[in-house]
Amino acid sequence: MANKTVQIQPGRYRMIIIGLLIALAGLFVLSFLLGRYPIPPRELCGILLGKIFPIEPFWTERMEIILFNVRLPRIVLAACVGCSLAAAGAAYQGVFQNPMAAPDILGATNGAAFGAALAILWGMSKRSITWMGFVFSLITVALVLFVSYKAKGKRILSLVLAGIMIGSLFSAGVSFIKLVADPSDQLPAITYWLMGSLAGVKLNDILFAVIPMAIGLIPLYFLRHQLNVLTLGDDEAKTMGVNVKWVRGAVIVASTLVTAASVAVSGVIGWVGLVVPHLARRLVGNNYRYLMPASMLSGAVFLLLVDNVSRNLLAAEIPIGILTAFVGAPFFIYLITREGERY
């Protein structure tokens, strides 16, 4: 992968992190105000403060319902999914020493898509669709790890090739399900899920996703120092006392958990895990001590911003996966064609 080392002073790093936190907080508040049913700032403050202090309501009951039952779960989940996908992408790029690595490199996204499509075909509930997506995502990566373990040759190459192969099988499975699905209701539902969307998320979706996300994000944050060593290569890492097999396995498991949870609740949202880590490198350089936190915050800011656009740009909501591709692809082209960059 690109090894253009960028040195950054701790003071500048703190300023960047503070700036990202301020941007995230500002977008968080702004997201409450935006929507087809606007909530003015005065009413927003009143509703929030009313949960703490006894205030005579000067807002409508509908505003309060929309704020807590519709916008709050969506805003929180958008930030969590963006944070998780960006962290997984940054981790995979370090583990596989490949700037093109993304959260779906081991087929987790294809597996989740197959599980969700199968659940829709069987007429299962929304909660069951989420569970099926999550479980099949984990099954896919488990199969990839098993195949790569049995394969001969370099471990990293075997993992990538196994991910491509198993992912392709599940992608073919999705295509077959779309072929036999009822075109009047099941096929549109599958197609919409594959586009990625945060529409209709509830508090239960957050409760479902937050545990595997936390289980995955915490190790990724604390393993960022070992990720620095892994980018030097296995032999160099071993000479520096790093248990390469254990660290790589832990990073893959943690990244798989956050990816599976994200895709299960939001559908297929591409480009976040690929583009955002490169954007974070522009800000803080290649050192994972700084890159991982910056990627997490940048991912949350990016997806929250895109989600606001998706639900406010047109009269009909645009699936968020379409917008991330529209934004991510041109930006990545800019990154790889900029003078002085080598990938």
CATH code where residue 209 lies: 1.10.3470.10
Q: What is the C-alpha separation between 190 and 94, in angstroms, rounded?
A: 33
Report the pLDDT value the prediction gives residue 6, as an integer from 0 to 100: 52
Q: Within a domain: residue 39?
A: no
Q: What is the C-alpha separation between 343 and 339, in angstroms, rounded?
A: 12
Which residue shows structure tokens 């895990």? 273
Nearest of 92, 130, 89 to residue 113 by alpha carbon:
130
Q: What is the pLDDT along the chain (343 residues), one digit of tens a residue?
A: 444 445 677 788 899 999 999 999 999 999 999 888 888 899 999 998 888 888 888 888 899 999 999 999 999 999 999 999 999 999 999 998 888 889 999 999 999 999 999 999 999 999 999 999 999 999 999 999 999 888 877 778 889 899 999 999 999 999 999 999 999 999 999 999 999 999 888 888 899 999 999 999 999 999 998 998 888 777 787 888 788 889 999 999 999 999 999 999 999 998 999 999 999 998 998 899 999 999 999 999 999 999 999 988 887 888 998 999 888 888 778 777 774 454 4
Query: What are the CB-based long-range contacts (under 8 Å, 24+) for 168-175?
Result: 168/110, 170/107, 170/110, 170/111, 170/113, 170/114, 170/136, 170/140, 171/110, 171/113, 171/114, 173/114, 173/117, 173/118, 174/110, 174/113, 174/114, 174/117
Q: Within a domain: residue 12?
A: no
CA angle 156, 162, 168 (to 5 degrees): 140
Report the pLDDT value the prediction gives residue 9, as an integer from 0 to 100: 74
Q: Within a domain: residue 53?
A: no
Q: Within a domain: residue 50?
A: no
Local structure of residue 218 (DSSP, 8 states): H
Q: Within a domain: residue 267?
A: yes
Q: Within a domain: residue 123?
A: yes
Determine the structural domain holding residue 191 and report its residue range: 82-337
Token pair in block for residue 287: 């050192």
CA angle 247, 253, 258 (to 5 degrees): 125
Report the pLDDT value the prediction gives residue 343, as an integer from 0 to 100: 46
In 3-state terms, what secondary structure has residue 306? helix
Give the DSSP per-residue string, 15-31: HHHHHHHHHHHHHHHHH
Report the pLDDT value the prediction gives residue 1, as an integer from 0 to 100: 44
* Number of separate domains in the chain: 1
Q: Within a domain: residue 56?
A: no
Q: How far apart are the first and last CA of the chain?
A: 6
Q: Within a domain: residue 343?
A: no
